[in-house]
A and B are shown apart, each in its own frame.
Chain A
Amino acid sequence: MRGKTRTYKGHKGIGDEVKGEALVATDNFSARYDLDRIKGIFSRPQHKLFGKNYVGNILILNIAKGGVATAWMLREMAERGMGPKALILNYANPIMAQGAAFANLPLIDRFDTDITKAIRSGETVEVLPEKGLLRVT
């Protein structure tokens, strides 16, 4: 696979095009339940990314879980410069979409494959929300 560009097609997303390093797990996501947003790390002991810093990463996880607070929190994190660069999920929920829309944070979901298994942490990913595309270079 090395040296070859791979693309993954999802549903049309939210936000602008960005490029960054992937941080991937098969776990789910909630900003309130899973993160220490001040330190910029995963703080839920049961989460596979526990202790990992997510700031500036293309965060790739399975589905949206938990409550509604994430709708406010994504923008709050972004404005402090402590947010992920983009959020990629197999399935978002309205809260993630509302939070991404409010924060102008790139978000894509509904891929033709399990995106958490297709991309590895550390790979460089281009996020193209308008086209619903991920490009791994």
Chain B
Amino acid sequence: MKLDAHEKAMLAGEEGPARKYAMEQIMRVGRFFDAKDTVRIAQVHLMADPEALGPTGVDFLESLARLPENDRMVRVPTVTDPRGVDFAAYKRLKQTEAQVDLERRAVAAFRSLGIMMTDTCINYQTIMPPVLGEHVAFGDTGSSIYANSVQGARTNFEGGPTALAAALTGRTARYGFHLDERRKGTSLFQVSWRPEDLSEWGALGAVIGRRMGSYWDVPVITGINETPTSDQLKQFGAALASFGSTPLFHMVGITPEAPDLKSVLGRRKPKAARLGRKDVQALVKSYRPKDDKLDVVAFAGPQLSLVEMRMLADLMAGRRIAPHVALLAATSPEIKSACDRMGLTAKIEEAGGTVLSGVCFYQMYAREIGEANGWKRLMSNSAKLVNILGGYGYEPVLATMAQCVESAVRGRIAGGA
């Protein structure tokens, strides 16, 4: 890889061990993907929940945090993905003191590196939305696919160790979706039906995600004639990224790099796969449970926007969920603050729900809190969440937000789910 003088100095350790580590990490990954050089990035979104980090990951962060200030501070605006513990709610969720302690240590280390603790996966809606053509290093599959596809920014999935390297150097290796040629469509989906509910948008993303051949497969979607909302594209993209490990899609006539089919496909002429309502229904049905037992309802993955929180508050206002069911809604600290101010938190919590701030259900020791609380049967309107939680010992069910709330109130799964 070709390095400039400054990069060579960082690699040689002239700016301390943190930036040396960062350049080494960037180069190892860059060489693996045949990158010719690096690219300057404008902002970083860092995923580093304590469950993923583990004690050894936190030790690593603390070793950076102990360095002199000049050697440890990040060089571009860096914000965080959801954390593993909401300090205001962890006792109710039966998280352990050891988990909370690890979280405190990780947060202290991040702060000393100059990282802004936004604790959100919807930074593209709520913090600083990237712009067309901007190179960034985003570290959540949902934030990456939204930034790439809907906003036309350029990023690969930057997992924690490399997102941190990008933050410390202001660079990442130039490969993958930083390059024009990788951003062209490779597969084509003709959709004959427009999803309505958010869970259906997620399910459509899941159906396409399951058909992706690898990270490099870029699906092009045609047939969506009415522009979806930000939340609809968020659910669609998050599920597509989760089921497919896919960082970019194009929706013809809707997303910025896809004004028409020709500009997004170039010379490629992939055969169109037809998708309709029955494909989406089949995916939803594949999560249909064998009985109507219900333990927990989770709205998360991605965190809820203000508009989704408002929908949930309207559905829950004046109702009361069954005592044996837990209902959790995760959002960002900024949106939580707005919900507090606007009375939405009160509506949800008076009905027996819990609003979580700065966390996401699957990033907060989902297996352990499930076991501690006796949660097995889970309902969610997020296709991404039900996809992940199968591996964490849950029996997840995909349904609309209204069906989830109705079921929580009845204490059993209701409404065609």
Say whether A and B bind each other: yes
Residue numbers of A with Cβ under 8 A of B are 11-14, 28, 30, 32-36, 43-47, 63-73, 75-76, 79-80, 90-95, 97-99, 101-102, 107
How far is B367's CA from A22's CA once the two chains are assembled, in angstroms? 28
Contact with A along B268-303 (1 / 0, CB 8 A): 000000000000000000000000000000000000
Instruction: Please determine whether A75 and B57 come into contact, CB atoms closer than 8 angstroms.
Output: yes
Contact of A63 among B49, B245, B390 (CB under 8 A): B245
How far is B368's CA from A55's CA once the two chains are assembled, in angstroms? 21
Instruction: Please determine whether B161 and A93 come into contact, CB atoms closer than 8 angstroms.
Output: no
Instruction: Please determine whether A76 and B388 come into contact, CB atoms closer than 8 angstroms.
Output: no
Given known contacts A33-B387, A67-B388, A91-B215, A101 and B157 CB-to-CB distance under 8 angstroms = no
Chain A residues positioned under 8 Å from B367 (CB to CB): 36
How far is B390's CA from A47's CA once the two chains are assembled, in angstroms? 10
Cβ of B217 to closest chain A Cβ, rounded Å: 9
Give the one of B159, B176, B387, B388 with max A CB within 10 A.
B159
- Select from chain B the residue with minimum beta-carbon distance to A15: B28
Chain A residues positioned under 8 Å from B241 (CB to CB): 67
Cβ of B209 to closest chain A Cβ, rounded Å: 9
How far is B26's CA from A114's CA once the two chains are assembled, in angstroms? 28
Chain A residues positioned under 8 Å from B29 (CB to CB): 94, 97-98, 101
Instruction: Please determine whether B390 and A64 come into contact, CB atoms closer than 8 angstroms.
Output: no
Contact of B54 among A13, A76, A93, A101 (CB under 8 A): A76
Majority SS of interface residues in chain B? Answer: helix
How far is B387's CA from A47's CA once the two chains are assembled, in angstroms? 12
B47 at the interface (CB under 8 A from A): yes
Number of interchain pairs (Cβ within 8 Å): 134
Cβ of B269 to closest chain A Cβ, rounded Å: 23
B52 at the interface (CB under 8 A from A): yes
How far is B162's CA from A101's CA once the two chains are assembled, in angstroms? 9
Given contacts A66-B388, A76-B53, A102-B162, 6 further A-B contacts (CB under 8 A): A36-B367, A65-B244, A66-B141, A71-B52, A92-B215, A101-B161
How far is B393's CA from A72's CA once the two chains are assembled, in angstroms? 21
Instruction: Please determine whether A14 and B32 come into contact, CB atoms closer than 8 angstroms.
Output: yes
Instruction: Please determine whether B161 and A97 come into contact, CB atoms closer than 8 angstroms.
Output: no
Chain B residues positioned under 8 Å from A30 (CB to CB): 245
Chain A residues positioned under 8 Å from B159 (CB to CB): 68-72, 94-95, 98-99
Chain B residues positioned under 8 Å from A80 (CB to CB): 54, 56
- Select from chain A the residue with minimum beta-carbon distance to B48: A72
Instruction: Please determine whether A93 and B48 come into contact, CB atoms closer than 8 angstroms.
Output: no
- Select from chain A the residue with minimum beta-carbon distance to B140: A68
Chain A residues positioned under 8 Å from B25 (CB to CB): 98, 101-102
Instruction: Please determine whether A63 and B215 come into contact, CB atoms closer than 8 angstroms.
Output: yes
Chain B residues positioned under 8 Å from A93 (CB to CB): 157, 214-215, 245
Interface size on B, as a range, is 35 or more
Cβ of B405 to closest chain A Cβ, rounded Å: 27
Residue numbers of B with Cβ under 8 A of A are 25, 28-29, 31-33, 47-49, 51-54, 56-57, 139-141, 156-162, 176, 213-216, 241-245, 362-363, 367, 387-388, 390-393
Instruction: Please determine whether B390 and A91 come into contact, CB atoms closer than 8 angstroms.
Output: no
Chain A residues positioned under 8 Å from B242 (CB to CB): 66-67
- Select from chain A the residue with minimum beta-carbon distance to B46: A68
Sorted from nearest, which 4 A-B pairs have the closest CB atoms?
A: A71-B159, A76-B54, A93-B215, A101-B28
Instruction: Please determine whether A72 and B161 come into contact, CB atoms closer than 8 angstroms.
Output: yes
How far is B213's CA from A90's CA once the two chains are assembled, in angstroms? 10
Chain B residues positioned under 8 Å from A32 (CB to CB): 52, 362, 388, 391
Given known contacts A91-B215, A93-B214, A35 and B33 CB-to-CB distance under 8 angstroms = no
Cβ of A53 to closest chain B Cβ, rounded Å: 16
Instruction: Please determine whether A71 and B162 come into contact, CB atoms closer than 8 angstroms.
Output: yes
A-B contact pairs, 30 of them (CB 8 A): A13-B32, A30-B245, A35-B391, A36-B367, A44-B391, A65-B243, A66-B245, A67-B140, A67-B241, A67-B388, A68-B158, A68-B159, A68-B160, A69-B159, A72-B159, A72-B161, A75-B56, A90-B214, A91-B215, A92-B32, A93-B214, A94-B33, A94-B157, A95-B157, A95-B245, A97-B33, A98-B29, A98-B161, A101-B161, A101-B162
How far is B34's CA from A13's CA once the two chains are assembled, in angstroms? 11
Cβ of A57 to closest chain B Cβ, rounded Å: 19
Instruction: Please determine whether A101 and B388 come into contact, CB atoms closer than 8 angstroms.
Output: no
Cβ of A11 to closest chain B Cβ, rounded Å: 8
- Select from chain A the residue with minimum beta-carbon distance to B216: A91
Instruction: Please determine whether A67 and B141 come into contact, CB atoms closer than 8 angstroms.
Output: yes
Given known contacts A71-B162, A101-B32, A63 and B213 CB-to-CB distance under 8 angstroms = yes
Chain A residues positioned under 8 Å from B53 (CB to CB): 72, 76
Given known contacts A32-B388, A70-B159, A91-B216, A97 and B32 CB-to-CB distance under 8 angstroms = yes
How far is B210's CA from A65's CA once the two chains are assembled, in angstroms? 10
How far is B289's CA from A89's CA once the two chains are assembled, in angstroms? 33
Chain B residues positioned under 8 Å from A33 (CB to CB): 387-388, 390-391
Instruction: Please determine whether B47 and A68 come into contact, CB atoms closer than 8 angstroms.
Output: yes
How far is B367's CA from A43's CA once the two chains are assembled, in angstroms? 11
How far is B216's CA from A34's CA once the two chains are assembled, in angstroms? 21
